[in-house]
Amino acid sequence: MTDFGTRLARAIDERGRFCVGIDPHAALLQAWGLADDFAGLERFALTVVEAVAPVVGVVKPQSAFYERFGSRGVAVLERVIAESRAAGALVLLDVKRGDIGSTSQAYADAYLDPASPLASDAITASPFLGFGSLDPMFETARRHGAGVFVLALTSNKEGPEVQHARTADGTVAGDVLARLRALNADASPLGSFGAVIGATIGSSEEELDFNGPVLAPGYGAQGGTVEDLRRIFGSAARWVLPSSSREVLMTGPDVSALRDAALRGNDAVAVLGG
């Protein structure tokens, strides 16, 4: 079994660092001329998979956009995960789960255990019930060679009221990053436990190099640029995954146009590796 950090480093080397969000929200379905229903969801999501999963290193479906259609929507999500992985892309499932005890373990089993039809290469998680509440996810990820990306410095305007709150040793965000640094200690070439840090946070006084990957939403249509990523992350930018959905997805439904947009995105962020 190869751990997630090693597989991600290989994917970045072979396919690039650009992460494409597969987010079938209502406005995008409408822009494609599709109805906001199960049939529209299925056509949209699987067209995106066909276009981008064979050429990018990481895809990031947002679970909520599938869950809103009930069990049939979740069945489409299962296909998105399976078909993306079959095409060679790593799947980072954006679920932002965070709970305690047996419930945290159940989320881990649902998304990280290969026996589950929703099993992905990595998930996003919220630490704001206490970092230790995520232990079942970390332990399950280790057991199955998966990854976990923990919210640290998000770009939404409400985030700082929690993430910048002071602790005895610094800030909540700083504590999250320190805990991730400890989890990733001695990992090579890269730890399997990452952080979510927005491409539009402006700046940070925190130490952002923790020997793990960074998911950087907000790149592209939401305003984040390559220059922003270089300024925010410095030497740690080599392990940043700039994530974009609208910038790519608005070029559909033509498969070639979607693929070309994903490749352009990959080319644009390649400079972060050196």
pLDDT at 106: 98
Q: Positive or negative, the Cα torsion across 54, 243, 40, 95?
A: positive
| pLDDT tens-digit readout, 130-160 | 999 999 999 999 999 999 999 999 989 999 9
> Does 1 have pLDDT greater than 90?
no
Residue partners of 147: CB distance under 8 A and separation at least 6: 4, 5, 8, 92, 121, 122, 123, 141, 192, 193, 194, 213
Burial of 235 (0-12, 13-18, 19+ CB in 10 A): exposed
Number of CB atoms found within 10 A of residue 117's CB: 12
Q: Which residues of 141-172 are buried (b: 16+ CB within 10 A; e: fewer)?
A: bbebbbbbbbbbbbbeeebeeebeeeeeeebb
Among the options 96, 230, 238, 246, which is catalytic? 96
Q: Please report, as a single letter, which amino acid is at residue 39.
A: A
| pLDDT tens-digit readout, 232-251 | 999 899 999 999 999 999 99
| pLDDT tens-digit readout, 27-84 | 999 999 999 999 999 999 999 999 999 999 999 999 999 999 999 999 999 999 999 9
pLDDT at 274: 64
186-197 average pLDDT score: 97
Percentage of the chain surpassing pLDDT 70? 100
Task: Specify whether 60 is catalytic.
Answer: no
Number of CB atoms found within 10 A of residue 33's CB: 8
Q: Tokens for 38?
A: 């199960």
Quote the CA–CA distance of 18 and 12 in Å, as a whole number. Answer: 8
CATH topology of domain 4-272: TIM Barrel (3.20.20)
Domain ranges of the chain: 4-272
Structure-token match 């822009």, residue found: 31
